[in-house]
Structure 1
Amino acid sequence: MSIGPAVFLLVLIFIVSQYFKPTGKRKLIDGRSSHLPPGPKGLPLLGSLLDLKTGRQDPNHKFLWEIAKYGEMTTVHLGAKTWIFLNSHRVVSEIIAKRGSVTNTRSPMPIASGLVSRDGRSLILPQETWSERRRVMHSLLSGSALKQYGEWQELESTQMMAEYLFQPEKWYKHHYRYANSVVHRIVLGERLAKSTQELADLQNCVTFFVGSIGSSIIDWFPELARLPKVLQFWRAHWQSLGDWNYRVYNSWWAPIKKQVDEGTAPPSFVRDVLLNEDTRYKGDDQDCMYLAMQLIEAGSDTTREALNIMVMAMLEYPEAFQKARAEIDHICGYGKNARLPVLVDMDNLRFICAIAKEVLRWRPIFVATPDHVASQDIDFEGYRFPLGTGFVINEVAVGSECENSGAFDPDRWMNGHETDISHGLWQFGGGRRICVGYRLAQRSLFINIARLIQCIDFKAASCPILFITMSQ
């Protein structure tokens, strides 16, 4: 190669590397250079993208454990983005909670948020488009709503106990039916009456969406989405997935929307809040559909997984559940004098509440939160983070900041805050972007954990299923 082309290639590489320089390596608005915590050096241009990709498939979370060794905070450059992994409860509280007003936006994701979700899933939307959706969803946290929805949670839980009695071998399917049915009733107002295929399609919407986050190089180099559409070779695949997702959503949404328009819809979040004129929601019909359906997605999947983890813990640590059953027997009676636990028992069944928290700490469903992006430059303990820097909670490391962290020990949560599932636990996020339905989720976990412990004896079988008997 002659000198001319070689120089041209070097100059081109330099220009590209400067254009796609990671956010954390850029100067602050006032001209100062950034100063970031230590972290892996990574590859030129790509940073640690390949390590992150490998780590996402690792059930032992080696990548997250490795980066936690750098200290309370670790800088990881990922394409044009910079993530600061928060590895201790202290820095999560400082950055996500105390500085939540300036760390509550998201970085652009042209694939996962744009093409796959049509900019409708609030989980990964930036602050300017998320805040209006948040305002509407906030009604889910009101006391009156929790009381009304609590009646449905108790009824669906009773149905789940009957299902356990007649089909114990399908225990994990009962968890999913409960979780999906109760949130379906809360959001859309009707008991669940969907086919197996319809339920599978909705579950796949969750799976494919989560799988799309960070799967495309475009989400790590968002500026590439500005290329003319004829050059966007990736577009057809992801848009096809987004179109399919839209059709699945619409098949659930259209019937309830028609009922609301005709005045025949039952009480629900959609009828009484989302489409209520008094709410004055500024979104269009598509925004409403995505908002409603994402609540069903989130409310069903996480509850199902948490109940499955609880069963695993029950088999591995029977002593904790014997203690829990004793607590329930003391409050709810024993034998012929027993009654099922109800939601108003929560204050008196604090060990059950502690079990719910320990389930989420012991085997976190979300090992890392979506990035909390700085909407301004941040100075923190000698470090300087430029606007656009992302902060990510390393749930694996933070959840292990306790004695004998590998053991399932609900007693570690018996500290006076048992009934607040968000206190000391970050599985629902934190700051201003904490999951709006976390109290609903807590109540679903409480009522079902309490009743399962009271009524069911779980024993490991020789084949990969459970042997289940009804408690006397």
Structure 2
Amino acid sequence: MSVFSESYGFNAFSSSLFFSIVCMVVLPFLIIREIFKPIDQRKAPAGKQWKLPPGPRGIPIFGSLLEFRKARSDSAQLSQWLSSLSQYGEMTTVHLGSKTWVLLNSDRVVSELIAKRGALTSERPDLPIASSLVSNDKRSVLRRSARWAEGRRAMHHLLNGAALRTYGGWQELETAHLLAACLLQPRRWHKHHFRYANSVVHWIVLGERLLRPTPELDALLAVTIEFVRAINASLVDFFPRLAALPRVLQPWRAYWARMGAAHRAVFVAWWEPVKRAVEAGTAPASFVRDGLLAEDTAYCGTDEEAMYLALSVVSAGSDNTRLALNTFVMAVLCHPGVFERARREIDGVCGDGGGSGAGGGTGAGSGTGTGAATASTLRLPTLADMPALPFTCAIIKELLRWRPLVPTIPPHDLTQDLDFEGYRFPAGISFVINSIAVCNAVPDPDAFRPERWIDGKGGEANITEGLWQFGGGRRVCVGYRVAQMELFIAVARLIAGFDYKANGPYDSRRLRHDIMDEPFPVTVSVRSKAYEELILREAERLGVLQSAKDGF
């Protein structure tokens, strides 16, 4: 054979081998990319052409998913990443695996797309992990509309005027317990926050004060924290087609299924005593007795769905209040002058209790007062004082704006193609409220300035006006009025009665909400002897002093 022939044969073989290798590598890549391509990058139906807002390019198949997952491991990094996406404008398109998120970065577009067009934007996306495996398809916040609507309808009766007045009395009683617990066991201040938040919603939903021992309460908090971590944690929720693989090809499934089973077991432990009491006719009035399990109720869900609905309300309602109260303490450490002003406002209505007596540490501790009342006429703020305490009301809104409890509100899936301000969105994309960007769209966003909410028209008293921390549109949290009352009475009374001082280094952008222990080091002390006597007297009068001493 000639040299030419041998060379030609070798070159042909090399070319064929190279081509085969390229096909083996490139062809699967192209197939995978096509399978998992986001809906707006697929070929549009005849006569249509999608046009979405600008955003980062990302990388093939994953888009910006790897960057998002890295950022979400640290609250400060996530806030920074979400804030940076507002550089693209009021809306930013981000591809996360198969999912297309259109981040809504301003109050205006959130109002237009979530509130005004809620008929098209109230669906939840398919989440095979967080919704299906971890939540057994029954946690209300993630349920798709067909199964969500019945529970939503059932919850509306919780918010009538008579119910809110009843809840107000319970909230004032539970804050008496909170204050006594902070006085008697100040090192457990963060535990007292959760117990207070949980007891109020526990009373509303299950019909009784919270008298559970600490291990059971800790178990419920652990479930709540774990569930929040599970949202957006798995790659499968961003590539939902993976959930259609045969189970033998889903190695991740066992881990998440075990988590879902553990969560359900905690729910059952809280649910069964209430259910037995309802069946025995001994249960007090409650949402469960009168709204879910009554024989003549119009609720059409199963017993299992009723359990998840009730315990999801207890879990989510109490956790958000816990986060807000922890944020309140951080804000006191960072901006003591603001809380000195709030204390002066409260003192002008309720009396100053004879000054500070707390050692004058960092925090709401000046205790200068106005002398409007003597120590003998000192009283705690009440819900009836809300109109007289606009600055304190504004603090509640500023807490939610300054450090948003939820950086991104759960996605709102678009159910029909939509034309909006020159853009054409395909059904199936998700609108996501970028809480960080929306809350930062104010002058000097890192400053804690409650006065920005005071407009002379009572805007400080409407917690959802200009804020989206309770969601929006048809998915807005039905309990936002209860939450506002609960936060106001707790914050007003804590400002009036306690001083806070840092007890070690802290970072105001890392509040460490996702841990069971103290999130940041704080020393809590009662403001004065007069307040100490008042707190103990009120707790004794309302019958909660002993449980505060016992630690639950």
| Structure 1 and Structure 2 fold alike (TM over 0.5) | yes
CA contact (8 A) 2:82 2:434 kept: yes
Rounded Cα–Cα distance in structure 1 between residues aligned with 2:26 and 2:333: 60
TM-fit CA distance, 1:465? 2.5
Letter in 2 for 1:202: L
Residue of structure 2 equivalent to 1:414: 454
Letter in 2 for 1:455: G
Residue of structure 1 equivalent to 2:323: 305
Rounded Cα–Cα distance in structure 2 between residues aligned with 1:170 and 1:197: 14
Q: Cα distance 1:77–1:461, how it changes in 2: closer, same or farther (>3 A)?
A: closer
TM-fit CA distance, 1:27? 5.2
Letter in 2 for 1:446: F
TM-fit CA distance, 1:86? 0.9
What is the aligned length?
472
Q: Cα distance 1:130–1:29, how it changes in 2: closer, same or farther (>3 A)?
A: farther
Q: Which region of structure 1 is more displaced relative to structure 2, 145-154 or 454-463?
A: 454-463
**Residue 396 (structure 2) pairs with residue 378 (structure 1):** no
Residue of structure 1 equivalent to 2:75: 59
Residue of structure 2 equivalent to 1:110: 128
Higher gyration radius (CA): 2
Q: Deviations over 1:268-309 (max 9, x none)?
A: 111111222343211111101110111111111111111111
Rounded Cα–Cα distance in structure 1 between residues aligned with 2:486 and 2:191: 16
Q: Which region of structure 1 is more displaced relative to structure 2, 311-320 or 177-186?
A: 311-320
TM-fit CA distance, 1:62? 2.3
Residue of structure 2 equivalent to 1:6: 22
CA contact (8 A) 2:501 2:522 kept: no
Q: Which region of structure 1 is more displaced relative to structure 2, 323-332 or 460-469?
A: 460-469
CA contact (8 A) 1:28 1:377 kept: no
CA contact (8 A) 1:29 1:386 kept: no
Residue of structure 2 equivalent to 1:295: 313
Q: Cα distance 1:72–1:161, how it changes in 2: closer, same or farther (>3 A)?
A: same
Letter in 2 for 1:158: A
Structure 2: gaps spanning 5 or more residues: 1-16, 352-372, 506-520, 531-552
1:248-259 pair list within 5 angstroms:
248-259=266-277
1:63-82 pair list within 5 angstroms:
63-82=81-100
Match of 1:442 among 484, 488, 491: 484
Query: What secondary structure is seen at the aligned counterpart in 1 of 2:103?
Result: strand
Rounded Cα–Cα distance in structure 1 between residues aligned with 2:225 and 2:192: 19
Rounded Cα–Cα distance in structure 2 between residues aligned with 1:29 and 1:327: 61
Residue of structure 2 equivalent to 1:341: 381
Rounded Cα–Cα distance in structure 2 between residues aligned with 1:237 and 1:460: 39
Q: Which region of structure 1 is more displaced relative to structure 2, 455-464 or 434-443?
A: 455-464
CA contact (8 A) 2:198 2:317 kept: yes
Rounded Cα–Cα distance in structure 1 between residues aligned with 2:480 and 2:47: 41
Rounded Cα–Cα distance in structure 2 between residues aligned with 1:456 and 1:7: 70
Rounded Cα–Cα distance in structure 2 between residues aligned with 1:32 and 1:347: 53
Match of 1:15 among 31, 39, 52: 31
Rounded Cα–Cα distance in structure 2 between residues aligned with 1:27 and 1:88: 30
CA contact (8 A) 1:189 1:266 kept: yes
CA contact (8 A) 1:357 1:421 kept: yes
Letter in 2 for 1:302: N
Residue of structure 2 equivalent to 1:202: 220
Query: What secondary structure is seen at the aligned counterpart in 2 of 1:233?
Result: coil
Letter in 1 for 2:442: C
TM-fit CA distance, 1:30? 6.3
Rounded Cα–Cα distance in structure 2 between residues aligned with 1:141 and 1:105: 23
Rounded Cα–Cα distance in structure 2 between residues aligned with 1:390 and 1:408: 32
Rounded Cα–Cα distance in structure 1 between residues aligned with 2:114 and 2:406: 16
Residue of structure 2 equivalent to 1:360: 400
Query: What secondary structure is seen at the aligned counterpart in 2 of 1:38?
Result: coil
TM-fit CA distance, 1:115? 0.7
Match of 2:466 among 424, 429, 443: 424
Query: What secondary structure is seen at the aligned counterpart in 1 of 2:171?
Result: helix
1:4-403 pair list within 5 angstroms:
4=20, 6-7=22-23, 9-26=25-42, 31-60=47-76, 61-333=79-351, 334=373, 335-403=375-443
TM-fit CA distance, 1:18? 2.0
Structure 1: gaps spanning 5 or more residues: none
Letter in 1 for 2:412: H
Q: Deviations over 1:223-275 (max 9, x none)?
A: 22112222222211111111111111101101101111111111111111122
Query: What secondary structure is seen at the aligned counterpart in 2 of 1:392?
Result: strand
Rounded Cα–Cα distance in structure 1 between residues aligned with 2:137 and 2:206: 22
Query: What secondary structure is seen at the aligned counterpart in 1 of 2:88?
Result: coil
CA contact (8 A) 1:20 1:221 kept: yes
TM-fit CA distance, 1:77? 0.5
TM-fit CA distance, 1:29? 5.8
TM-fit CA distance, 1:4? 4.5
Q: Which region of structure 1 is more displaced relative to structure 2, 281-290 or 341-350?
A: 341-350
Residue of structure 2 equivalent to 1:466: 523
TM-fit CA distance, 1:5? 5.8
Rounded Cα–Cα distance in structure 2 between residues aligned with 1:298 and 1:355: 22
Letter in 2 for 1:35: K
Match of 2:498 among 444, 456, 464: 456
Rounded Cα–Cα distance in structure 1 between residues aligned with 2:23 and 2:92: 36
CA contact (8 A) 2:283 2:289 kept: yes
Q: Cα distance 1:267–1:375, how it changes in 2: closer, same or farther (>3 A)?
A: same
TM-fit CA distance, 1:9? 4.8
TM-fit CA distance, 1:118? 0.2
Rounded Cα–Cα distance in structure 2 between residues aligned with 1:263 and 1:98: 44
Query: What secondary structure is seen at the aligned counterpart in 2 of 1:277?
Result: coil
CA contact (8 A) 1:376 1:386 kept: yes
CA contact (8 A) 1:169 1:468 kept: no
Letter in 1 for 2:176: T
Q: Deviations over 1:356-381 (max 9, x none)?
A: 00011011111111111101111111
Q: Give the superposed CA RMSD.
A: 1.7
Query: What secondary structure is seen at the aligned counterpart in 2 of 1:439?
Result: helix
Rounded Cα–Cα distance in structure 1 between residues aligned with 2:221 and 2:500: 27
Q: Which region of structure 1 is more displaced relative to structure 2, 164-173 or 252-261?
A: 164-173
Rounded Cα–Cα distance in structure 2 between residues aligned with 1:214 and 1:311: 28
TM-fit CA distance, 1:31? 4.0
Q: Give the percent of matched residue pairs that are identical in Structure 1 and Structure 2.
A: 52
Query: What secondary structure is seen at the aligned counterpart in 2 of 1:102?
Result: coil
Rounded Cα–Cα distance in structure 2 between residues aligned with 1:365 and 1:250: 28
Q: Cα distance 1:460–1:19, how it changes in 2: closer, same or farther (>3 A)?
A: closer
> Segments of 4+ in structure 1 off by > 6 A?
none
